[in-house]
Amino acid sequence: MTLSLVRAINEALRGALADDPKVVLMGEDIGKLGGVFRATEGLQKDFGEHRVLDTPLAESGIVGTAIGLALRGHRPVVEIQFDGFVFPAYDQIVTQLAKMRARSGGRLGLPVVIRIPYGGGIGAVEHHSESPEALFAHVPGLRVVSPSCASDAYWMLRQAIDCDDPVIFLEPKRRYYEKEPVDTTAPAATLHSVRVVRPGRDMTLVGYGPTVRTCLDAAAAAEEDGVSLEVLDLRSLSPIDFDGIEASVRRTGRLSVVHEAPVFFGAGAEIAARISERCFHHLEAPVLRVGGYHMPYPAGRMERDYLPDLDRVLDAAERTLAY
């Protein structure tokens, strides 16, 4: 069937609720309204108010309650309405959710999924357009993933809900309404593996979430000039499939990493360091990063100057290929 990314999320949640009575959904306005982006539309009507819970506007309380439910055997799926709203819950996530397995000597796991619409491109203000992935990927005990398309949104969410560890599930909100065929009979890949979305020979572009489409557009434009760019969808930021990236870079000899978050201390820095260590004798040029600037997210009318676009990705490719 053909689904938009946000509809694929709805279908994944519906399937999880139907398959496992321990799955519960929690969040602000996710019940009768169906969520700000309608990701949970119709689920409270079909599964009841005891499975799809409208919560107060209190993110720390939502995540704290989810932790308690998980300790009692449930599999809570929490929706944070916008990326910038997660910070009141950051204490619960870092000091409780992430540490429980290690703190209990492996006896207690917390199968909690925290869904967060993230990133810019919708003309919104700062608390609605941020990219906080590095703040979570840096925390041991958390898994951090981000789909870029409807098929991955469906299967990665199903896999995240089945996972016995806490998962931060980052949803690229500006790609919510892009559609593609989704096969709900078999997963396309494992949760934490890199996926080659466009083969190429001259250089590797790594993106995730919203920037995979940006990388694909850049690769299509570069092809008109005879340049072949390979595009990888990272999919998982913790853990990262460094073996998959390394395999590509050993073929192409060049790498750029593209993300919306600031490049300073971002995911691209970690990937650049690891791939430089692993592929030092295979690299023909330094690893470059293309991303947001080290500043608060700008007003909506200025975000086009902030977000990495096709021109900035192509400029990085040109600089890399000049070596």
| Tokens found for residue 192 | 């934490």
Quickly state the pLDDT bin for 84 (edges 50, 70, 90): very high
CA nearest neighbour of 233 among 188, 273, 276 = 188
Which segments of the chain belong to CATH 3.40.50.920?
195-322
186, burial (CB in 10 Å: exposed 0-12, middle 13-18, buried 19+): exposed
- In DSSP terms, which residues pair with 143 in a beta bridge? 167
CA nearest neighbour of 202 among 319, 323, 322, 321 = 321
| Tokens found for residue 94 | 């870092």
Q: 103: which residues sit within 8 A by CB, 6+ positions away? A: none
Q: Which of helix, strand or coil describes residue 54?
A: strand
How confident is the model at residue 118, as a pLDDT?
Answer: 97
Pairing of strands 143-145, 236-238: antiparallel
105, burial (CB in 10 Å: exposed 0-12, middle 13-18, buried 19+): exposed
CA nearest neighbour of 207 among 172, 167, 243 = 172
Whether residue 309 is predicted with pLDDT greater than 80 in this model: the reply is: yes
- Residues, the chain, total? 323
Whether residue 203 is predicted with pLDDT greater than 90 in this model: the reply is: yes
Which is more confident, 122 or 288? 288
Quickly state the pLDDT bin for 208 (edges 50, 70, 90): very high
Instruction: Give the tens place of pLDDT for each residue, 31-57.
Output: 999 999 999 999 999 999 999 999 999
How confident is the model at residue 310, as a pLDDT?
Answer: 95
What whole-number distance in Å separates Cα of residue 68 and Cα of residue 279? 44
Which segments of the chain belong to CATH 3.40.50.970?
2-181
Check if the beta carbon of residue 289 is closer than 8 Å to that of residue 256. Answer: yes
CA 240-219-154 angle, to 5 degrees, is: 50
How confident is the model at residue 126, as a pLDDT?
Answer: 80
Which is more confident, 123 or 192? 192
Whether residue 89 is predicted with pLDDT greater than 90 in this model: the reply is: yes
What kind of fold does domain 195-322 have according to CATH? Rossmann fold (3.40.50)
Q: 254: which residues sit within 8 A by CB, 6+ positions away? A: 202, 203, 204, 283, 284, 285, 320, 321, 323
Tell me the CATH number of domain 2-181, given options 3.60.15.10, 2.40.50.140, 3.40.50.261, 3.40.50.970. 3.40.50.970
What whole-number distance in Å separates Cα of residue 3 and Cα of residue 24? 23
- Structure pTM? 0.97
What whole-number percentage of the chain has pLDDT above 70? Answer: 100
How confident is the model at residue 187, as a pLDDT?
Answer: 78
What whole-number distance in Å separates Cα of residue 285 and Cα of residue 274? 15
Average pLDDT, the chain: 97
Residue numbers annotated as active site: 128
